Structure 1
């Protein structure tokens, strides 16, 4: 069985990553590209932590430890996937705003 602490860690790290990515977009929109990049770096760190938790679950299952699939675990996976997509889009927004500022 997956511990709630593991699940909540994935949700927390992913939520933090998503928030940092959204913050990066705001900084880029306002022309502060250094802060935007810093937020993306923070998002990457948080995603790495969330991904590590997810990887531990995958490894355990591959070694024969079956997990109950709970709504909370699905929610955590959804948060992680969403955070990853938002970070990718934030990078695109930063690039776009940088190009627009060079007009």
Structure 2
């Protein structure tokens, strides 16, 4: 396994992990009523997911061009991190919307 391959794997893991952490941070900010900050954190999470997706897309493009890419547990782990981060960010978005609604109702 070469260094370039491991850089791809680690790029997906790193950006996916950053996105998930930012989404969690956004939930905590929303619970405190800091919705502007929560939305900023969600945007940063989206930016991290875009970075991970770009790394992944580069790899997929290379495969489409005929390059043989080794599939192993490292890559499976990276893809798992990315998919989990995407799902978590989507759920965080929903949670923050519900938290905004709940806090608005409580203010009435």
Give the unaligned 5+ runs of structure 2.
Answer: none
Structure 1 residues 1-103: aligned runs within 5 Å: 3-103=5-105
Give the unaligned 5+ runs of structure 1.
Answer: none
Give the number of equivalent residue pairs.
103
Paired residue secondary structure (2:74): helix
Per-residue deviation, residues 27-79 of structure 1 (Å, max 9, x unmatched): 11111101100100100000000000000111110110111111111000000
By how many angstroms is 1:98 displaced?
Answer: 0.3
Higher Rg: 2
Over 6 Å off, 4+ runs: none
How well do the aligned residues superpose, as a CA RMSD in angstroms?
1.0
TM-score by length of structure 1 reads 0.96
Paired residue secondary structure (1:24): helix
